Structure 1
Amino acid sequence: MTLAKEKTVVDIVRADFPILKEKVNGKPLVYLDNAATSQKPLQVINSLQDYYQEYNSNVHRGAHCLSGKATDAYEGARDRVAKFVNASSRQEIVYTRNATEAINLVAYSWAMNNLQPGDEIIFSVMEHHSNIVPWHFVAQKTGAVLKHVELTSEETFDLDQFKQLLSDKTKLVSVVHVSNTLGCINPVKEICHLAHQQGAKVLIDACQSVPHMPVDVQDMDCDWLVASGHKMCAPSGIGFLYGKQEILQEMPPFLGGGEMIADVYLDHSTYGELPHKFEAGTPAIGEAIALGAAVDYLTTIGMDKIHAYEAELTAYLFQELGKIPQIRIYGPKPDANGEGRAALAAFTAGQIHANDLSTFLDEYGVAIRSGHHCTQPLHRHLDIPATARASLSFYNTREEIDVFVKALKETIEFFSGFLG
């Protein structure tokens, strides 16, 4: 008698993701591009479909049944997001299209109205373009000065340099929680504490942390935090801004139109309460409801369990990549348990261009990312044109890492014949 193999959490979870059964170039899909966007479980897909099939209607102010049901689901999702990041109030969660829009909301509503010539904004060399370009706009309009934190020898956030940059001129610190290229986990709680001692506000880009580990905005004590739904098992076109209630209260609306008003007259308007004063126009209703479903899904699994399993995968990924002499991985190394960095590896392979690696790996059914990952300043700092990036999620397996590493070895061997 053969005993049936007991299913692990990942075995059960994988069944929720229909796309993982797809084939690419005749090979089973190995999806290792999760830092760019995550795949979606049936629970999220079905929630979006249910909205459009069963109660599609605009939210707020509708007196009929469908509008009431849509409003309840839409606002219920906000409650779930608030609980997920431990906001002190649902009013502290503003729906946006994505994290980029959330950062721009802070840039245009708060920074443009509060910064003066000579005030300083600090970010880091590892930031995503979405956490750099809006501050260019602010500096050009206000005369604020931009300063950046560089890397330690371990290619992590240089906290000592950050302390030196801080002064009473510092008005805003905007940094990533987890680098989408280096994989380093920045000391955001300490960053917030140090910045607040100087009277500065802090914005945290949590796109690469919220889907992979517990995030507590009250414990972190950030002033704002942003995330994108499409990286956390939700659809694209939806994200959120967390902001401390007293700060959001003082910020003027970002966009004008319907939904964000209290009363409109021919010569002036009054604005709605939080968070609605920042949500002009018909929102992404189905996407917001599906974001709530994604939060429910992640919560049911448990963020501690997700983080622990991804740490195991990280340890194995680095162990196997370490067997390939041509590979150079950027960012800090994980410890023996895979802790100390995110579940991704951005790497180069000698003279082989990252785009060529990605193209050839696709022939094996392996999906990775190549290029600068919207971190051009970081790649210039590292003096490399591009990196290849394999990024993991809780639905990936060791077997998929084996397929990836085998395909990578064969690809490097193929190119070695041409490059010598």
Structure 2
Amino acid sequence: MRIGVPAEIKESEYRVGLTPEAVREFVAAGHDVSVQTGAGSGINASDQAYIAAGATITGTSAEIFSDSEMIIKVKEPQESEWTRLREGQILFAFLHLAADLAQAKGLLGSGCTAIAYETVTGPDGQGLPLLAPMSEVAGRLSIEAAGAALQSHNGGRGILLGGVPGVPPAKVAVLGGGVAGTQAARMAVGLGADVTILDRSLPRLRLLDELFQGRAKTRFATVAAIEEAVCAADAIIGAVLIPGAAAPKLVTKQMLREMKKGAVLVDISIDQGGCFETSHPTTHAHPTFLKDGVVHYCVANIPGAVPMTSAQALNNATLPYGLALAAEGLGAIMKTPGLRGGLNVHRGQITHPAIATSLGFAATPPEEALSQRAASAPAFALELR
């Protein structure tokens, strides 16, 4: 298969779809890989390193999209990219469609087959193995971001997360006890903060209680518990995930008005629309904004701040799935439950039920969509709910 790796164009995104090590695996399996010149510069991977791995260096993104049967990248395609996708082409990347109607329409109109890293499941249909490493990175970085935002010159309360002898530490509330939330709590506990984790899964809370051995408190996430924890906290980490769907708004505008002035909200869920009612996406160049005296950190690609770590971790997870797609194309999706879970769009149809519900489209089951021939109607002829 002909595989293309374009340079990322989203602001402050320095990761790359394939590292030179991953390229070597695809080439060893008999595939042709084209990499846009400079695509690996953010991870200090030169064009020469890609050539040594067996790739061909291509000058422009337009050539990559035109000549490739499968596009492997990191972040969701921007408008200048989705307009270059075509029917029969596979896109393998993070998409986060539930919060991005424009991109969804663009992918539907292209006729391509789009597989989202964030909804690919494990072999047993459980877990999110391609999202997990980036959730680990984002969870850990969220505490670094919170600590910086709490500093007075950044608009924060002027509190050190871990305190010092004789001075109490900051109170940190983590909303969501999944991978990102657990890693955030781990970092906050390690710095000596007073940490509370809120989740609606009792089995998960039991696991977290055992994991932290009393170093972090756990609470069942009722509305009242969230409100109490948020109003008492100096920093709140939003780490809520419903696979494929838009994130629920757990912190309302009313709660925000009752929070401490200079408190910090870090919204890891911003890719899925954010779990704070007042969130909107920010960038690494301008990561925060102030609303009702509360600092909001809502960077939509948090792991992009550490691209060398993130790109390697992401490639470690995506490689077996990418190799399967390269070897068998759509047949790999039919044979692999995890890839069927990752299928979001195929030939003008939404195939993931949570995404369809979030966007107001009718969903076509993956098996049904894959068994059909090319769609005769454009994406916008799909029946709306």
Give the TM-score normalised by the residue count of structure 2.
0.34
Structure of larger gyration radius: 1
Higher relative contact order (CA 8 A, sep 6+): 1
